[in-house]
Amino acid sequence: MKTVNILFIILRLVLGGLMVYGGINKFEKPSPTPVEVVEKAEKFTQPDKESTLQKILYISGAKQTGYFWQVLGICEILFGLLLLFQGTSFVGALFLLPITLHIFLFHYFLEPEEMGELLKTAALFLINIALVLKEYSKWKHLLWIKPI
């Protein structure tokens, strides 16, 4: 087996494993009540705490919908599992692309000072892109369909 193929297997397992782990974590704690969210947010109303307040309100808002946080968790688990199995890894990588982009953009816009998190999420997004581009020959014909 070529070294490149082994590298892509490792990258696929890392990304898939992290997505499954992140998806499971979305179900570990119950969603806070709206009152709890407001009480927590009020602690960060100072101008120097605005970034923390934005993160609290964003994530709490996703949880308060009653479905979005759970759907995101289910998608992370399902697509991560698809990525872990070789036969479905391309579909898993393709479906995970908007999720890894969202995770990266969340950290880029709401935690730009956290360089470690930003680099980690950028790496996950780049791994995801690499896994999709690895299969370019299989999907390139979909980019331009010739009219009959």
Separation CA 131–CA 56 (nearest Å): 32
Whether residue 123 has pLDDT greater than 90: yes
Structure-block tokens of residue 135: 């299969």
8 Å CB contact between 83 and 89: yes
Q: pTM for the whole thing?
A: 0.86
Whether residue 137 has pLDDT greater than 90: no
Residue 147: which pLDDT band, with cuts at 50, 70 and 90? confident
How high is the mean pLDDT of the chain? 91
Whether residue 145 has pLDDT greater than 80: no
Q: Domain coordinates of the chain in residue numbers? A: 3-31+66-142
Name 90's Cβ contacts closer than 8 Å, sequence gap at least 6.
131, 132, 135, 138
- Mean pLDDT in residue range 106-131: 94
Q: Where are the alpha helices (DSSP H) in 43-114?
A: 50-64, 68-84, 89-110
Give tens-digit pLDDT for 75-111: 999 999 999 999 999 999 999 999 999 999 999 999 8
